[in-house]
Amino acid sequence: MTLTITGLSKFYGSFQALKEVDLEIGDDEFVCLLGPSGCGKTTLLRVVAGLEGYQSGTLRFGDRDLSTIGAQDRGFGIVFQSYSLFPHLTVRQNVGYGLKIRKTAPAEIARQVEHLLKTVHLEDYADRYPWQLSGGQQQRVAIARALAVEPSLLLLDEPLSALDARVRAELRGEIRDMQRRLRVPTIMVTHDQEEALTMADRVVCMNAGRIEQIGSPEEIYSRPATRFVADFVGSSTLLTAEQAARLGVEGAAAAGSRLFALRPEDVTIRLDEQGPGRIRNVTFLGNVNRVKVGIEGLELLAETGRLPGLVEGAAAAVEILPGAGVWVQP
């Protein structure tokens, strides 16, 4: 079923947290809401969940208007950042809780819980209490609990942000595989661009209560539509048309107020005593060096592998790869 959000606005008092949001989420899509702290992504998720109201616009799931349906009756599964498990219930009881409330027969509950615990790799932990589990394990239980009631839509609110980097990476893959297998449409809130780019079918990039751009991870990264997206997702050098013209970038004359966004990997440098560029700063990132290079009174971000003599002050030839960069709205 399709979730359709149209012209949705939400106020907290006089503060507008969501501004005319339009978004459609298809049958078995995994969509990430990505944006900086305070941009409204959690608010949007909570509105979809039915935990917050809204002032204008429409919210439909399939042919149902959700405005008159309470959170309990929407049939959605929700996982929060803090695991929010019932502390006095075991893993098995936590996962089976929703089914028990629905008066499912005990044998059926046992069967489904066992299946779900296998899915999240916790079959050996069924009789433990939440405090006897690691953060990653608790979040697996929370996911299993949300899935137990066979939700028609799964809502994940920064489910991985409290976990350490290794567990986070592991769970990313697991959640994505599980979602594909179960084919449940999913919305995940994150402020982590890598998480959004690696997990989502489509990324919804939000800023100050508005959607800036919706696209596949590839589109969002390679063809950002606005300055905000070019800047928030990955790193970019942003140049005015006049500055881009100085570097011989095509299309600068017709660019108007648009900005030219250039990824560091689009700019190559070669150490050359006769070169017009000057290395301003080098940051070692392990597999590559991120370099700030001055040229034509501008400063560009560039990327390079190991180069002997790559130090501040060195002279360099600078090349922008042909066809690289995009013009974005200011």
Positions in the binding site for ligand ATP (CB under 6 A): 12, 15, 17, 35, 37-43, 191
Q: Which is nearer to ligand ATP, 47 or 133 (CB)?
A: 47
CA–CA gap between residue 151 and residue 101 (Å, rounded): 15
To the nearest whole angstrom, how small is the minimum distance from the Cβ of residue 167 to ligand ATP?
Answer: 20
C-alpha triplet 159, 45, 9: angle, nearest 5°: 155
Task: Copy the structure tokens of residue 294.
Answer: 């001055």
To the nearest whole angstrom, how small is the minimum distance from the Cβ of residue 79 to ligand ATP?
Answer: 15
**How does DSSP classify residue 105?**
-
Q: Which is nearer to ligand ATP, 12 or 86 (CB)?
A: 12
Q: Which of 196, 197, 203, 250 is CA-nearest to residue 225?
A: 203
Q: Which is nearer to ligand ATP, 80 or 97 (CB)?
A: 80
To the nearest whole angstrom, how small is the minimum distance from the Cβ of residue 64 to ligand ATP?
Answer: 24
To the nearest whole angstrom, how small is the minimum distance from the Cβ of residue 213 to ligand ATP?
Answer: 16
Q: Which residue is nearest to ligand ATP (CB)?
A: 42
- Cβ contact 111:118 at 8 Å: no
Q: Which is nearer to ligand ATP, 196 or 320 (CB)?
A: 196
For 232-306, list the strands marked E by DSSP.
237-239, 259-262, 267-271, 277-284, 289-295, 298-304
Q: Which is nearer to ligand ATP, 35 or 136 (CB)?
A: 35
To the nearest whole angstrom, how small is the minimum distance from the Cβ of residue 43 to ligand ATP?
Answer: 3
Q: Which of 184, 132, 196, 126 is CA-nearest to residue 160?
A: 196
To the nearest whole angstrom, how small is the minimum distance from the Cβ of residue 207 to ligand ATP?
Answer: 10
Q: Which is nearer to ligand ATP, 36 or 87 (CB)?
A: 36
Q: Which is nearer to ligand ATP, 64 or 210 (CB)?
A: 210
Q: Which is nearer to ligand ATP, 158 or 303 (CB)?
A: 158
CA–CA gap between residue 164 and residue 160 (Å, rounded): 8
To the nearest whole angstrom, how small is the minimum distance from the Cβ of residue 291 to ligand ATP?
Answer: 31
DSSP string, 34-57: E--TTSSHHHHHHHHHTSS--SEE
To the nearest whole angstrom, how small is the minimum distance from the Cβ of residue 10 to ligand ATP?
Answer: 8
**How does DSSP classify residue 158?**
S
Residue where the block lists tokens 């049958």: 27
φ, ψ for residue 72, nearest 5 deg: -65, -30
Cα radius of gyration rounded to whole Å, the chain: 24
CA–CA gap between residue 64 and residue 42 (Å, rounded): 23
Task: Copy the structure tokens of residue 128.
Answer: 């433990």
Sheet harboring 237-239: ordered strands across? 237-239, 259-262, 326-328
To the nearest whole angstrom, how small is the minimum distance from the Cβ of residue 150 to ligand ATP?
Answer: 27
List CB contacts of 149: < 8 A, sequence separation 6 or more. Answer: 75, 77, 98, 99, 102
Q: Three-state DSSP class for 19? A: strand
Q: Which is nearer to ligand ATP, 35 or 264 (CB)?
A: 35
